[in-house]
Amino acid sequence: MALRLGDIAPDFTADTSLGPLSFHEWIGDGWAVLFSHPRDYTPVCTTELGAVARIKDQFDQRNVKVAAISVDPVDSHHGWIQDINETQNTNVNFPIIADPEKKVADLYDMIHPNASDTATVRSVFVIGPDKKIKLTLTYPASTGRNFAEIIRVIDSLQLTANHSVATPANWENGQDCVILPSVPQEQVEEKFPKGHTVLKPYLRMTPQPNLN
């Protein structure tokens, strides 16, 4: 059965390019992004791992760990990392999980027979401190992932986990938010002292509450 939002992310242990990893222990009390690749030495994925390495500090600032995974073994990962560093002008600074027996791929439903009966699809999982899955994305092999969008979603998830708001279409960090319908109007002024605008009784906007 495919994993759904709110499910506990399956725990596992595996070898990685940076040594052994126990997934839930590795996440600790922070957030995590797990993203999969069909195999090593693939062109689009080479650019993706380079892109993540270049913005890893943005994940660090948000207390988010990142890990990639493919079904190739660790020695293959090490060779691929050299290519990534060379061609993408970066230094891969996060673990690439080895899954040659496809155990993790099966746990996370990363093998879609309609796409390939052997290779993992290109999935993204964002996992919260409670070890629950907060976001899933699956991309076609021909389209590189947009990691700026993944950062944007993490900003939204971390904001909405701690405040009674949601984020509207195309929201970016710093923009106004939607007050949840579950907040009674008589409590709005107390909960949102920066002010609010009522567009409709069910559509109330307020400045982003976690900014000074």
Written as six digits, the tokens of 202 are 């069910």
Helix locations, 126-199, DSSP H: 147-162, 185-191
Q: How many CA atoms lie within 13 A of 206 on its CB side?
A: 25
Catalytic residue (one of 32, 33, 45, 71): 45
The CA radius of gyration of the chain, in Å to the nearest whole number, is 19
Q: Is 45 a catalytic residue?
A: yes
**Residue 77: partners with Cβ closer than 8 Å, 6 or more residues away:** 16, 17, 40, 70, 96, 98
Annotated catalytic residues are: 45
